[in-house]
Structure 1
Amino acid sequence: MAVRPGVRRVRADRGAEPPPADVWPMTVPAVAQLWAEGLELAPGATVLVGENASGKSTLVEVLAAALGLNPEGGSAGARLETRRSEPEALPLVVERAPGAPRWAYLLRDETLHTLYTYLEANPDRLRLEPLFHGLSHGEAFLSIFDQKLRGAGVFLLDEPDAALSFAGQLRLVAGLLDLVARGAQLVVATHSPLVAALPGARVLEVGPWGLRPATWEELELTANWRQFLDRPEGFLRHLG
């Protein structure tokens, strides 16, 4: 039977000095809501959907810091940094299930080039890893996904669809479902209606309101893509 879940809740440490409410990332509504209310994480997959600048990636970065992960990607032990743009760690408490596995990993599309370079310079001694820079963007992402995200860990993925074709996204969804079946816990931020349709996932829509539960059918993302695919000329005639 799969181990469930790794993390039950992420909440503010009420014994710590609260961060200033008018300083980023607390100015991001989703982060402010996490601080005020805490965030219950689903035992399987949680999918974050929202517009650019809605706060999806910032929320993923805040969760990664709370889990002790390298903010540019990788595991807690990864040592890579280019130009720091992520928020400092907030005083958060991670509530875990007794005996929950501690393996966790962060994949961020915007920092994959740096992560590939780091992994090639520090190869895993227990398995043969590919030269990621010799692969296409999508091939490299799916390769690192298959190699690093395994077992019943906690895995954060920020815009994993960015590198992938339609077929690649289908393969990604299949991989995510396999991870959930093995007891993994996922937080996935995406712009893809295909990834947002991940069966069994809890969907949270991110925006000026903070975080709110939604169904796939209710998402503005879904409505926009459906309307575009039905009548692309109706959208494109207004451009330029």
Structure 2
Amino acid sequence: MDRRPVRRLKPDPAAPPQPAGTWPATVPAVAQILREGLELAPGATVLVGENGSGKSTVLEILAAALGLNSEGGSAAARHRTRTSEPGSLDLVVERSPGAPRWAYFLRDETLHGLYSYLEENRHPHRSETAFHELSHGEAFLSLLGDRARGPGLYVLDEPDAALSFTGTLSLVARLGDLVSQGAQVVVATHSPVLAALPGARLLEVGPWGLRETSWDDLELTASWQQFLTDPRSFLRHLG
């Protein structure tokens, strides 16, 4: 039986088309989803791409379609700074019957606001962590460990920005545990370590839109391997 919390993000055939030439429909990955939808595999899906490729925008659209707070948290989270997200774009979520509906969204760039919201609105039956008293990476891993428990859908936008190498390895282990419990995970990252998450479906984001690939074929992987082998081959061209 298909128990994926989300099977597919798909266009609403009854919705008016997005105006041509306007953001975010001008982002190739978004334009592809507006045409074709986006199938979410069981387990983990990892989006990799350069800055500005659209991977974070794809996650923001998914979070909006799920009804999650666009700046992070669950559907019940009530905090906001400045609205800049694209919304759901009239995309609809196809769910598996009887699958868990719990979902949580974590965005590196808005974690400060989420931490403040959680500290100011403590759950009566939960001992909330004082997130602002921890380092960025410690707070992120603590929040993920508290909110990501068992089946559900977890959407993480560039979590590696908060983490050291060993912290990223800890995150890989945590996400692997979630997947083994039946969770779905969707991650956008610049980290070759996180992109190596065992069993993950890799989508490379760029001018072509979204394309499935392997870790060995990622430009990200090749660049890091070359840099670590010979840093001077990159650094001598700077400045």
TM-score by length of structure 1 reads: 0.98
Aligned to 2:16: 17
State the AA in 1 paired with 2:64: A
Of the structure 1 ranges 21-30 and 6-15, higher mean CA displacement relative to structure 2 is found in 21-30
* Mapped partners of 1:141, 1:88: distance in 2: 24
Aligned to 2:92: 93
Counterpart mapping for 1:77-92 below 5 A: 77-92=76-91
* Mapped partners of 2:8, 2:134: distance in 1: 37
What are the Cα deviations for residues 102-125 of structure 1, in whole angstroms up to 9, with x where unaligned?
100000000000000000001122
Say which SS state the counterpart of residue 7 (structure 2) adopts. Answer: strand
Say which SS state the counterpart of residue 126 (structure 1) adopts. Answer: coil
Aligned to 1:40: 39
* Mapped partners of 2:146, 2:125: distance in 1: 11
**Maintained 8 Å contact 1:3/1:183:** no
Of the structure 1 ranges 8-17 and 120-129, higher mean CA displacement relative to structure 2 is found in 120-129
**Maintained 8 Å contact 2:44/2:186:** yes
* Mapped partners of 1:172, 1:4: distance in 2: 24
Aligned to 1:75: 74
Gaps of 5+ in 2: none
State the AA in 1 paired with 2:26: T
- Shift in Å, 1:223: 0.2
Aligned to 2:115: 116
Aligned to 1:229: 228
State the AA in 2 paired with 1:181: S
Aligned to 2:173: 174
**Maintained 8 Å contact 2:154/2:185:** yes
- Shift in Å, 1:58: 0.4
Aligned to 1:131: 130
Say which SS state the counterpart of residue 73 (structure 1) adopts. Answer: coil
Aligned to 1:198: 197
Say which SS state the counterpart of residue 72 (structure 1) adopts. Answer: coil
TM-score by length of structure 2 reads: 0.98
What are the Cα deviations for residues 58-96 of structure 1, in whole angstroms up to 9, with x where unaligned?
000000001000000000010110011111321112111
Say which SS state the counterpart of residue 46 (structure 1) adopts. Answer: strand
**Maintained 8 Å contact 2:4/2:96:** yes
- Shift in Å, 1:45: 0.3
What are the Cα deviations for residues 23-58 of structure 1, in whole angstroms up to 9, with x where unaligned?
111111111101101110011000000000000000
**Maintained 8 Å contact 2:3/2:97:** no
- Shift in Å, 1:4: 2.8
* Mapped partners of 2:2, 2:147: distance in 1: 18
Identity percentage of aligned residues: 69
* Mapped partners of 1:146, 1:88: distance in 2: 27
Segments ≥4 residues shifted beyond 3 Å = none
